[in-house]
Amino acid sequence: MEILIISGLSGGGKSKAASYLEDMGFYTVDNMPAAMILKFAEFCITSNGRYERVALVYDVRALEPFEELFHVLDLLREMDCKCSLLFLEASCETIIKRFKETRRMHPLMGKAGSIEQAVRQEIELLRVVRDRADIVLNTTTFPIAKLRSELRALFDSAGASRSDLQVNVVSFGFKHGIPIEADLVFDVRFMPNPFYIEELRDKTGMDQEVYDYVMSFQQTKTFLEKLEDMVKYLLPLYSEEGKSMLVIAIGCTGGHHRSVSVARALTAYINTLEGFSATENHRDMTRK
């Protein structure tokens, strides 16, 4: 069983770290006192594997001597738990800025005359915890994506090469409106329209005859080559920036033939890219 204790300064990124770890398969609990950590660990051990990876947030809100935490850590290791202490911090100026932006009150504000005094008091209080930490991350210069990638590299080695970016390729008909969730929109109405071929009119891009017809033209092939090249360039950048969902919308007139065919081809291409996968959705394919 793996237990990760997340501690550190208020405003250092503990809540975001817990959210990212939850995405990696950890069961997370915020603001747990030391005595409850031990009880919770005992419960998890007897849960028949239901709670194999646990991340628990512990900080000054526990209102207890930190020696209690250290005692619990020693006991957990004696129980053959894989136990680590992660400490998150940031510069005083950065933390003050974060509290001002979120308009939250620092937990020590009631005992201090200003945010700065509260932050500096907390730094001193948590110094002993920082010294006992297995990993210290300073998030002063971290954008959101950087913290996630650091945590993945540390605690999710099996998925370190996999992107968190979910790609959804949507075909649609312009006469029904552009999908409101679309991030990128491509218009393929310049391609020859199977609607004007009598034997293809009542079929869709999911039918091989229609797909082969759309793909038989040089302008379609050239467009796909350029689109695939653009997507291959963009996906790692979106992932690095921290985007979790990318919707690529492909539109034709009715959303039955050309857009469906191109969406199919693009989805298949994205699924060949290492670290990325895509799903397809044909919004208007069955609409008249």
In what order do the strands lie in the sheet containing 2-8?
A: 27-29, 53-57, 2-8, 82-89, 135-138
SS3 call for 36:
helix
**What residue spans define the domains of the chain?**
2-158, 166-282
Q: What is the pTM of this model?
A: 0.65
Average model confidence (pLDDT) across the chain:
91
Task: Supply φ then ψ for residue 99, to 5 degrees.
Answer: -70, -35
Give the model confidence (pLDDT) of 242-275 as tens digits: 788 999 999 999 999 999 999 999 999 999 998 8
2-158 maps to which CATH number?
3.40.50.300
Number of Cβ within 10 Å of residue 182's Cβ equals 17
pLDDT of residue 142: 85
pLDDT of residue 261: 98
pLDDT of residue 218: 97
Quick one: average pLDDT of 190-206?
Answer: 96
